Each structure stands twice: as structure tokens, then as C-alpha cells.
């Protein structure tokens, strides 16, 4: 089963400094049929205006992954962590028992991100934050695990949930496949470019909710960059 969710049909809106689209119910957008997908709870497509951002606010019991598509995001939190994450790279925050953080675009041009929230396997635990570069060249033609709750994914950023976040960059005409385990839920979004997914067409920033598909076959109709969540 593959449910295509076109970008133009997503919730969200324009808020001056923020242009946002929600793949699932979030903030003022509520759709009882789109409350999440397995452990995946939020996938927001955000464009943040220069010299603006999200002021300090709290989170608890959520794994929050930020994939930077263009520009850079600057993180500050109540643990004293600070960091600037650039396009193509990833940051993660395990909110645990509670943390306050702020996310700013301190750049002179718009920053575009995917922000992904995944429910943790267990509530509580100490909050944590981390970031890591993931060169696009390493993802050329193959999926690379960016964040993972599985110890065997030692090169990925750690998250506390039964899930993986993966990325791949494809040249026009390239094909890549991914095996989806029984009972798993996948959600896939091309950050750029048009692709086919098991014969179904997706444009840039469309979403695809997937289950009961043992193998995912992706072919790039043009140069494309794709993000995939594989979750329980």
C-alpha cells in the first residue's frame, strides 16, 4: 500500500517569517486521518526567513530529527548545547524528561528544513542533542542511515526509538531499492527532484505513506534527493 500525499494538499500556511507545510496533524492543522504513521508523528516542511526562527520552547518525550535542505539552522538549548547545521547535514534531539531549545536562521537567505518527530520507545531519560555532517557524495546511489535507534548503525546519529531515518541522492535514471520489514511503516519524501516509487510518481516534497510493500524501488526521473523514515 502506497498513499501519495501531494505537497499542494498538505496542511500548514504562511506566517510571515515561516512558510510551513505539515504532512501530519500539527498546530492549527488537524486531520484525524493523518495523526501519524506508526511511530512517526510529525513531518514538517519549513522555510524560515533570514534572521528569524523559533524562539525558546519546551519539548519532552519525543525524538526530533532536523534535515537541512538549504541554508543552515542554528540550535541553542537549555543544556548549553549550541551548533550550526548546514545543508545536507542532520541534527537530532532526544527530548527525554524535558528540554527547552531554540532554532534560528541566522543566515542572509532562507533556510529550508524537514523536521521529523518520532515517538520514543520509552518515555523519560536524560535529554540529549547531536549533529553530524552527511556529505551528499556518500549518499550517491545508495541509502545512508542518518539517524537510528539500532546499535548496529554505528555511523548514524543515535535516537531512542525503533526507527531509522535514511537519505539517498540519485542522478537522473538511477534506481535504488530498499527492503521494508514485515509490520514496518515507511514514509518517503523527495527533498528535490521527481521520482517513481514502485511505479507511482512523486514530485519534489510530495509524501508517500507505505506499508505492506516488501521492497521499495525508486527511480529518479531527474536528479533527486530523498529522505525515508522506516519505523515500527
Q: What is the pLDDT of residues 117-164, one digit of tens each?
A: 999 999 999 999 999 999 999 999 999 999 999 999 999 999 999 999
Q: Say how far apart CA 215 and CA 232 lie, in whole Å.
A: 16
Question: Residue 185: which residues within 8 A CB-CB, separation 6 or more?
Answer: 37, 38, 39, 40, 209, 210, 211, 230, 231, 232
Average pLDDT of every residue of the chain: 97
Q: What is the pLDDT of residues 196-222, one digit of tens each?
A: 999 999 999 999 999 999 999 999 999
Q: Say how far apart CA 169 and CA 192 lie, in whole Å.
A: 9
Residue 137: burial class (beta carbons within 10 Å; 0-12, 13-18, 19+): exposed
Q: What is the pLDDT of residue 90?
A: 98
Q: What is the pLDDT of residues 176-202, one digit of tens each?
A: 999 999 999 999 999 999 999 999 999
Q: What is the pLDDT of residue 175?
A: 98
* Phi, psi of 23, deg, nearest 5: -75, -25
> What does the DSSP 8-state code read for residue 140?
B
Contact 115, 65 (CB under 8 A): yes
SS3 percent helix, strand, coil of the chain, rounded to 5, is 5, 55, 40
Contact 116, 43 (CB under 8 A): yes
Least Cα distance to 6 among 189, 221, 228 occurs for 189
pTM of the model: 0.97
Q: What is the pLDDT of residue 25?
A: 97
Domain hosting residue 53, numbered range: 2-231
Question: Domain with 103 in it: what CATH number?
Answer: 2.60.120.10
Q: Say how far apart CA 87 and CA 42 lie, in whole Å.
A: 20
Q: What residues form DSSP beta bridges with 1?
A: none
Instruction: Count the domains in the chain.
Output: 1
Amino acid at each position: 500500500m502506497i498513499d501519495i500525499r501531494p505537497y499542494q494538499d498538505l496542511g500548514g500556511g504562511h506566517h510571515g517569517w515561516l512558510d510551513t507545510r505539515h504532512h501530519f496533524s500539527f498546530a492549527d492543522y488537524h486531520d484525524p486521518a493523518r495523526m501519524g504513521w506508526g511511530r512517526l508523528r510529525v513531518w514538517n516542511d519549513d522555510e524560515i526567513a533570514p534572521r528569524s526562527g523559533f524562539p525558546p520552547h519546551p519539548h519532552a518525550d519525543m525524538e526530533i530529527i532536523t534535515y537541512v535542505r538549504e541554508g543552515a539552522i542554528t540550535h541553542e538549548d537549555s543544556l548549553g548545547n549550541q551548533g550550526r547545521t548546514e545543508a545536507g547535514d542532520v541534527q537530532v534531539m532526544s527530548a527525554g524528561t524535558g528540554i527547552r531549545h531554540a532554532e534560528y536562521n541566522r543566515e542572509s537567505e532562507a533556510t529550508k528544513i524537514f523536521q521529523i518527530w518520532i515517538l520514543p520507545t520509552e518515555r523519560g531519560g536524560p535529554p540529549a542533542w547531536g549533529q553530524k555532517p552527511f556529505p551528499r557524495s556518500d549518499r550517491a546511489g545508495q541509502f545512508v542511515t542518518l539517524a537510528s535507534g539500532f546499535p548496529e548503525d554505528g555511523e548514524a546519529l543515535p535516537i531512542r526509538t525503533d526507527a531509522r531515518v535514511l537519505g539517498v541522492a540519485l542522478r537522473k535514471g538511477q534506481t535504488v531499492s530498499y527492503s521494508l520489514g514485515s509490520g514496518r511503516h515507511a514514509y518517503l519524501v523527495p527533498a528535490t527532484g521527481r521520482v517513481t516509487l514502485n511505479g507511482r510518481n512523486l514530485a519534489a516534497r510530495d509524501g508517500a505513506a507505505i506499508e505492506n510493500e516488501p521492497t521499495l524501488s525508486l527511480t529518479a526521473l531527474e536528479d533527486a534527493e530523498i529522505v525515508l523514515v522506516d519505523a515500527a
